[in-house]
């Protein structure tokens, strides 16, 4: 069961959340988004190494798809 669904997140999960958030914000021109709020939920199905990079890559692809719809 995911930590988020249990209601309590550990330090590792919070660290990964912050890393993904910083990575996405660094890759975007935030001033062009205006007051839009986007939520990105990352689930790594097979954790055999590189879970952080897999999450960032997947989140960026999802964000690119979402921005196409917003335009």
pLDDT digits (tens, 9 = 90+) for 9-56: 788 888 888 999 999 999 988 888 888 888 888 888 888 888 889 999
**How far apart are the C-alpha atoms of 66 and 38, rounded to whole Å?**
8
Predicted pLDDT at 4: 65
Among 47, 67, 44, residue whose Cα is nearest residue 27? 67
Q: Taking the model in full, what pTM does it have?
A: 0.74
Predicted pLDDT at 41: 86
Dig out the tokens for 6 from the structure: 């249990």
């Amino acid at each position: 069961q995911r930590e988020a669904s249990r209601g309590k997140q550990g330090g590792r999960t919070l660290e990964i959340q912050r890393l993904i958030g910083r990575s996405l914000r660094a890759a975007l021109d935030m001033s062009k988004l205006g007051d839009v709020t986007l939520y990105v939920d990352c689930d790594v199905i097979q954790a055999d190494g590189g879970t952080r990079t897999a999450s960032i890559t997947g989140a960026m692809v999802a964000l690119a798809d979402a921005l196409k719809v917003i335009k």
